[in-house]
Amino acid sequence: MDRRHLLMLGATGGFSTLGPLPEILAKEKDSRIRIAVKYSMIQESVSVLEKFDILKLAGFQGVEITIAQRKDLRGILRGVDATGVAVHGVVHGSSDNYQYALNLCKAVGGDAVLVVARLKPEVRYEENFKLAQDFIRDAIPQAERLGIRLLVENVRGSFLKKAEEMARFIDELKSPMVGAYFDTGNAISWTEQSAEHWVRILGRRIVKLDIKDRGHHEFGDPRAKREGVLGTDGGEVHWQNVRKELKEINFTGWATAEVKGGNEPRLKRAAKWMHSILNLR
């Protein structure tokens, strides 16, 4: 399916689900960690294409969008073509139906949809567990057809508060299309386990990273730093330990900043910070 066809489909609000399953599960012959940002972090009042120019100038190789950016599909595809900055994935919304997010991800050339095993307060833990698995299980056939993975993230709104729970949740789905989207800052903010513990337990289930550190002086909020948590770089995350665990699993792929955004100079500082904490060359 070519870009022109995708643009035509996007203009009518639909996306094709046809085509063979690409070999997305084969590891790229690229040992790098590539850095990206969430699209909402680009806080300049400019065109979509100019936003992609800003990302390239700031040193980012990719960006991750949400369902809300579907209205900008034409501009996003032009931005990708003009700059080489990839849209590597889509953050799913709050529904339990992943169909539209999967189609949108395919349309923009991404390879994964970030999903959440959402807590439903009215039901018990095991019921939450089964319900969330069923929603994902229903989406697996479409994910297979499109070659788009479903990656479960550790977030505040989930009932999965321990790495061991998330590992079991993913393993019981028994599908290579399902993996983990690990958020370094959420591990500390919303659970009692360290970021490096989560990496150690989730291991090769981890496909992508969200990068944040709530306690960092510039890219977090030191006033919100969790008492008694000692990280590095002035924050909560012990990046040296996290890097060690990532090295153990030979992690490569996308690491996406999820911090307060801003203009081009701030995004450049964010890129520099990511290179530093992840020890990228």
CATH of the domain at 74: 3.20.20.150
Residues 211/257, Cβ–Cβ less than 8 Å: yes
Residue 160 lies in a domain: yes
| pLDDT for res 235 | 87
| pLDDT for res 233 | 76
Residue 231 lies in a domain: yes
Q: Pairing mode, if any, of strands 112-115 and 86-91?
A: parallel
Residue 45 lies in a domain: yes
Residue 201, pLDDT above cutoff 70? yes
End-to-end CA distance of the chain: 35
Measured CA to CA in angstroms, residue 108 lies from 73, 85, 113, 159, 194 at distances of 8, 11, 12, 30, 34
Q: Residue 30 — very low, low, confident or very high, per pLDDT cuts 50/70/90?
A: low
Residue 21 lies in a domain: no
**Tokens for 104?**
């949108």
Residue 3, pLDDT above cutoff 80? no
Residue 19 lies in a domain: no
Residue 110, pLDDT above cutoff 90? yes
Helix, strand, coil % over all residues of the chain, rounded to 5? 45, 15, 40
Q: How far apart are CA 266 and CA 269, in angstroms?
A: 5
Residue 19, pLDDT above cutoff 50? no
Residue 29 lies in a domain: no
Domain span including residue 188: 3-11+34-278
Q: How far apart are CA 65 and CA 109, in angstroms?
A: 11
Residue 16 lies in a domain: no
Residue 130 lies in a domain: yes
Q: How many Cβ atoms from other residues are within 10 Å of residue 38's Cβ?
A: 17
Number of domains in the chain: 1
